[in-house]
Structure 1
Amino acid sequence: MAASQTQETADVVVVGAGPAGSATAYHLAQSGLDVLLLEKATFPRDKICGDGLTPRAVKELLAMGIDLHSPGWVRTRGLRAYSSGMRVELDWPDTAGFPDYGLVRTRQDFDHLLAQRAQKAGARLLEATKVTDVVLDERTSRVRGVTARCDGVQHTYTAPLVVAADGASSRMAVAMGLQQRKDRPLGVGVRRYYTTDRTDDDYLEAWLDLWDPTAPARRAMLPGYGWIFPVGNGVWNVGLGTVTVDRRIDVDHRALLEDWTRRLPKEWQIDEDHATTPVRGHALPGGMNRRPQYTRGMLLTGDAAGMINPLSGEGIDYALESGRLSAEIITQALARSTAGQRERALHAYPHHLQDAFGGYFTLGRLVVQAVGNPHIMKFIATHSLRHRPLRALMFKLWANLTDPHSKDAGDRVITALLKAVPAA
């Protein structure tokens, strides 16, 4: 082999060391498998995100043995919501299945922490390693590894299975012919960091009434919300996001952010003088917009599979959960004695994702379609906070924190809705 090429083997190659990839690698390594975790960047590195973690994500972090009492974490009690002149505080629901607190931590060190946790479990992390293509078996067209470049050297990493955890654009998924579905919700988020004199807070803050500044008389309310999340030490993650199923709708999100922040209280210092970063944005294709999530030796997880909440735009929860699920399926499959048995186990992966999230994502898509009507969005933003039972129900639905065994009326309503909609 030429000096400019190298080759390594593993039981599983995981492409992308974000939350989905690191969670997958951690759980695989915990099962005793030899895992290569490939990351194109070098840690620490930033990712565009709101940085807020709901109790769903906290549950997964606890399962990974992450020390949530160490410095760097900001613990949150819930959400402080603003709309139509109202302000209400909604504590995270007290459910049997999830912790009663959330967290905030910047992606710059959050992702690094997760990758280090995977390393400690036994995964082999290779940074500055840009995966360029999949390697296919010429006879079966099955994935048998990937090619990558690092320091000008071409590498080939072979494994019986490859996990694509390389984000929403997912070069790996596209290489396998798995394109994003256009009938799924598409969110767009922008955010910026500010350092102010305002003291830290233990609530996430969200504004439900985003008005399109280009619409006549500012009467068009957009489906989405603005956020102010406490990062700690006077630093704030400030941003907003909108979501739609109609790809023809065009919104200038930077102008929208400028218009919204200009209307915030002056004493909060969310202004140009206190900004510490430029405005950055990214797309949030959600609702499991790539299918199937398993094909010919490759599994999709996290954003690569469109595992983003269509209502909140939250992706870290589902990245961690789908990473764990993919690791469980892979571990079971590789323990089977024949190729046919292994394939049957792997083909069950999309069904597990459907069982776990399909109904909720379908319901979320229907809600997104409804609030795409400015009149419906205005009605929800105006009235959802006025009535305690309704706002509790909306909060649980937004964060996907329903307890199916609870006797609470809101939980029963959401559970019935989830059973009624198809997991499509």
Structure 2
Amino acid sequence: MHNTDICIVGAGPAGATAALHLANKGIPSLLIDKASFPRDKVCGDALSGKVVNELRRISPDLPAQLGELQEAMPSWGIHFISPGGHKLSVPFKYNYQPDQDTPAGYISKRIHFDNFLVQQVRQRPEVKFLEQVDVVKYKPAAEGGYVLSDKQGQPLVQTKLLLMANGAQSGFTRHVAGLDQEPEHYCAGLRTYYKGVSDMDADGFIELHFFKDFLPGYFWVFPLPGGYANVGVGMLSSAVSRKKVNLKKEMLCMIETHPELQRRFAKAELVDEIRGFGLPLGSKKRTISGDNYMLLGDAGALIDPFTGEGISNAMISGRWAAEQAAKCLEQQDFSAAFMHGYDKAVYNRLWKELKLSRQMQKLLNYPWLFDKVASKASKNQALAETISCMFNDLDLRERLKQPSFYAKLLFD
């Protein structure tokens, strides 16, 4: 059995980031994962500018290293296609110059990006990394902390502090931390890969399509290196249940019958199975720590409610978990009260953004209004630039919550 002060369960972006920040502080940790890397993860594969910033916080040269991978391609923004077919283009960086600027974001399959982070972990002597270790039982230790065991009840790890970064289906999150999956704050998604989809954006913009008959869900197409595309759909679980939606059937139907998609997918080849996954949305504040533990990334339900982005928020939580872990060791205080500093730090950084995204998610209940905004912006460069800036400036984005913003749009 391994004895350690800090055990991180899950070596995805949240867990790997936490381990690397701890290593930068000279603090040893044990990182375990049930898989063997490289391994796939069902996801949209988009890496926003926030991901690039978090990589830079780990090490200034990491974004450049990512950019050198042939499995990663630059991405400069998002195309939102409204129910009426109007395209609202939102660059990650206003007035960008692809030939001169450092890419604001990237797109890379998770099998490659997660392995990229794990390769950084493998180089750090402060991190003991164990693969194919499947922990299913968590028992409080008599002297504080937890004893982690396998299916047979064989003890594997004893730790003072547990960083749970084992994803959306975390048993610890449900059974120990007591956070339930709430349909109003949970999204069901499907993802697959195609090759040969036509008219992909030359600057690697990802596409989010909001079709009138599929609201409040959305259909996405994300370009990938080598002529591949990540294609999928997402919808609130509450809406899936209420409308009795068969997501796979709807996704294939949109590709086969929507005129624009039908044209673009005419010569495309399905090269992977269609796989489902769940997204615990950060549209509600939760308690993400307790005695001797913290919940990171998807295990703490931190996914953006509007765009579905989770990687950057997972990495942000990993960074703050490392900060809190260092304080816990220094003070030898692992109590829930002291651990709450982690919750405060994470939500101080993310809550304003998550709350605004929740408001934008609600805009999908008014497709005519969404369509009006997109239509005006597609014809008005100044408005398009304003909305673009809103995605990067939270104070500006606050205007999206104000009725006066839409009144001005409607009656100008």
Report TM bin, short chain. 0.7 to 0.9
1:364 matched residue in structure 2? 357
Q: Deviations over 1:240-264 (max 9, x none)?
A: 2233765634322212211222233
1:355 aligns with 2:355: no
Residues 250, 325 of structure 1: CA spacing in aligned structure 2 closer, same or farther, 3 A cutoff? farther
Residues 324, 252 of structure 1: CA spacing in aligned structure 2 closer, same or farther, 3 A cutoff? same
Q: Deviations over 1:138-197 (max 9, x none)?
A: 47xx53232236xx8934211110011111121112231422363753222222111227
Residues 270, 237 of structure 1: CA spacing in aligned structure 2 closer, same or farther, 3 A cutoff? farther
Match of 1:22 among 16, 19, 32: 16
Question: Equivalent residue of 1:134, what SS?
Answer: strand
Residues 170, 99 of structure 1: CA spacing in aligned structure 2 closer, same or farther, 3 A cutoff? farther
2:4 matched residue in structure 1? 10
1:309 aligns with 2:327: no
Residues 317, 265 of structure 1: CA spacing in aligned structure 2 closer, same or farther, 3 A cutoff? same
Q: Is the 8 A contact 2:146 2:161 kept in 1?
A: yes
Q: Is the 8 A contact 1:19 1:319 kept in 2?
A: yes
Q: Which amino acid aligns with 1:43?
A: F
Which stretches in structure 1 are left out of the alignment for 5+ residues? Answer: 1-6, 213-220, 405-409, 418-424
Q: Deviations over 1:242-297 (max 9, x none)?
A: 337656343222122112222335563466x6110011121212016573111111
2:225 matched residue in structure 1? 232
Question: Equivalent residue of 1:23, what SS?
Answer: helix
2:145 matched residue in structure 1? 143
Residues 392, 134 of structure 1: CA spacing in aligned structure 2 closer, same or farther, 3 A cutoff? farther
1:193 aligns with 2:193: yes
Q: Where does 1:64-83 land on structure 2 (aligned, <5 Å)?
A: 64-65=58-59, 66=62, 67-71=65-69, 72-83=71-82
Q: Is the 8 A contact 2:298 2:314 kept in 1?
A: yes
Q: Is the 8 A contact 1:144 1:161 kept in 2?
A: yes
1:413 matched residue in structure 2? 399
Q: Which amino acid aligns with 1:350?
A: D
Match of 1:131 among 127, 130, 135: 135
CA distance in 2, matches of 1:183, 1:242: 10
Residues 415, 355 of structure 1: CA spacing in aligned structure 2 closer, same or farther, 3 A cutoff? farther
CA distance in 2, matches of 1:144, 1:27: 22
1:255 aligns with 2:241: no
Which stretches in structure 2 are left out of the alignment for 5+ residues? Answer: 96-100, 404-412
CA distance in 2, matches of 1:249, 1:13: 42
1:160 aligns with 2:160: yes
Q: Where does 1:42-61 land on structure 2 (aligned, <5 Å)?
A: 42-61=36-55
Question: Equivalent residue of 2:166, what SS?
Answer: coil
Residues 249, 15 of structure 1: CA spacing in aligned structure 2 closer, same or farther, 3 A cutoff? farther
Match of 1:104 among 107, 118, 129: 107
CA distance in 1, matches of 2:246, 2:183: 22
1:216 matched residue in structure 2? none
Question: Equivalent residue of 1:11, what SS?
Answer: strand
Q: CA RMSD in A?
A: 3.1
1:268 matched residue in structure 2? 264
1:210 aligns with 2:205: no
Q: Which amino acid aligns with 1:268?
A: R
1:135 is displaced (CA, Å) by: 2.2
Q: Is the 8 A contact 2:89 2:384 kept in 1?
A: no
Q: Is the 8 A contact 2:91 2:388 kept in 1?
A: no
* Higher alpha-carbon deviation: 182-191 or 276-285: 182-191
Q: Is the 8 A contact 2:139 2:146 kept in 1?
A: yes
Q: Where does 1:263-342 land on structure 2 (aligned, <5 Å)?
A: 263=258, 264=260, 268-269=264-265, 274-287=269-282, 291-336=286-331, 338-339=332-333
| Greater helix share, structure number | 2
CA distance in 2, matches of 1:99, 1:146: 43
Q: Is the 8 A contact 2:352 2:394 kept in 1?
A: no
Residues 56, 99 of structure 1: CA spacing in aligned structure 2 closer, same or farther, 3 A cutoff? farther
Aligned residue pairs: how many? 387
1:211 is displaced (CA, Å) by: 3.4
- Same amino acid, percent of matched pairs: 25
Q: Which amino acid aligns with 2:225?
A: G
Question: Equivalent residue of 1:163, what SS?
Answer: strand
